[in-house]
Amino acid sequence: MSLGGDLTRGLAALAFATAIVAALPPQEEEGPVKFGPVPTFPPQEEPYEPREVLRSVEIPHQLFGILLAALVVLIASGAKTGGGAVLDAVYILVLKLGPDEAIPLASITIFGGAVFDLLLNVWKKAFNSNYSLINWDFIIMMQPMLLMGAGFGASMISWFSSWLLIIALIVYLAYIGKKAFKKTRDVGHEEGWRWCSSSETVSLLGAPSTSFQDDDGGFQYKASPPWRKLGMSFGLFVATVLLTALQGGKYFPSPLGIPPTSFFFLIISMLPFIFLSVVSHYQMKDVVATYQRQQNPRFILAPNEVQWSPESIRKLPLHLLGIGAVAGAFGVGGEGATSRLLRGVNFTPAAVSAMSATAVFFVSGMASFDFFLWGKLDLNLAKLLMPLGFVMTLLGRLCLINIVRKAKSRTLLLFAIAAAMFISILPLTFMELRALLGF
């Protein structure tokens, strides 16, 4: 198989391009130097309002936006679907933030929920098996590409203008909204909703639902997680974060004392991507070796082990890079795309749910750290929204999901998220047209 050479060259090119993007600080508009006393009042074209009045106007918007974000996270976690793009729209439309501010806040909110998901899933194991429900070998294999893609995607908000980011968000909302409606229809058929079913004899809530049984019925809790593999996974994540931090950021200078204008700063910026490329290269060599062993007729596939094929090995790196890049660029977790990838290599539905949530933890964590490093993350709001994501995910996973399972009404939650995606497109489009055309 000629995967190794092509993969190495591709990773090297991506690492070099990403390092250049990360190394050069974004140009900010600087006004001319002004002499004399600093004016007390704002410019004449803006009407003066006391700060107390401005705060009283902003507080209701902020409170409503935060409550709406909490509702989105609650519904999305109860429906077991992603809601990061809807959070982007809420923060832009309700909190009146720019996309370069809203996307990092959506990422940190998703990360807060992913922390709870990880704490919940790490103790699970499959029925009639001693193996962890999360295949940590596969998670470790996915991590380098996901982290590299997340770093590359997160850097885009520093280089794309606001109007281009909003256009990209509109396109993304339309794309995932279409997939969300398809998923809603499929779950509706399972739950027997009349408006989703072609049969007139199916009752509204009387059909048995398998949509939750697939995700929640294939595991039990285990006393001891695989700590060694867990440590390897977190060690890889922490090493990437530390290498990224060597370049410094808005809140602290480079620990090595290298200024951003130095040529060595470019080399320091490339270190995380070189590290991840090397790790991924050796991991893919192990995957190829595993595939060759599986060709032996006497080989017996272990429980929760991946059945590799040449096509899956060839496409996997690019898929993971794309998932990470999209997640970093829009501040989402990429849970849906990761789930589709895991289903394609024959993981059980329960394992897909747990492993995709684990991947969200690492992707959103890497993107959020990059946003923090570059000063794009509003720390005051982040201190509120990260715990909010944790608490709402807890309520959704432990409380709302049980209510929905008994009522067989997961379709309603999925429909609410899908509808919110399409509804968000209209005001975002109007806002973009008004900004571009000036009306």
Position 364 scores a pLDDT of 96
What residues contact 234, with CB distance under 8 A and at least 6 apart? none
Distance of alpha carbon 68 from alpha carbon 101, whole angstroms: 17
Where do the domains of the chain lie?
Answer: 54-292+304-437
Q: Which residues of the chain have pLDDT under 70?
A: 1-58, 128, 191-223, 303-304, 439
Position 188 scores a pLDDT of 80
Position 126 scores a pLDDT of 75
What residues contact 350, with CB distance under 8 A and at least 6 apart? 124, 126, 133, 214, 215, 216, 217, 218, 219
Position 151 scores a pLDDT of 92
Closest Cα to residue 176, out of 85, 243, 76?
85
Closest Cα to residue 415, out of 67, 78, 70?
78
pTM attached to this predicted model: 0.82
User: For 28, how many CA atoms within 13 A lie in the half-sphere containing its CB?
Assistant: 5
Cβ neighbourhood burial of 19 (10 Å; 0-12, 13-18, 19+): buried
What residues contact 432, with CB distance under 8 A and at least 6 apart? 163, 166, 167, 170
Q: Which residues pair with 221 in a beta bridge?
A: 124
Do residues 287 and 33 make contact, with C-beta atoms less than 8 angstroms apart? no
CA distances from 165 to 78, 170, 258, 273, 434 (A): 29, 9, 31, 24, 15
Position 30 scores a pLDDT of 42
CA distances from 157 to 101, 107, 313, 329 (A): 9, 13, 31, 7
Position 13 scores a pLDDT of 52
What residues contact 170, with CB distance under 8 A and at least 6 apart? 425, 428, 429, 432
Distance of alpha carbon 59 from alpha carbon 224, whole angstroms: 46
Do residues 179 and 421 make contact, with C-beta atoms less than 8 angstroms apart? no
Distance of alpha carbon 243 from alpha carbon 229, whole angstroms: 21
Kindly state the DSSP code that residue 262 receives in the 8-state scheme: S
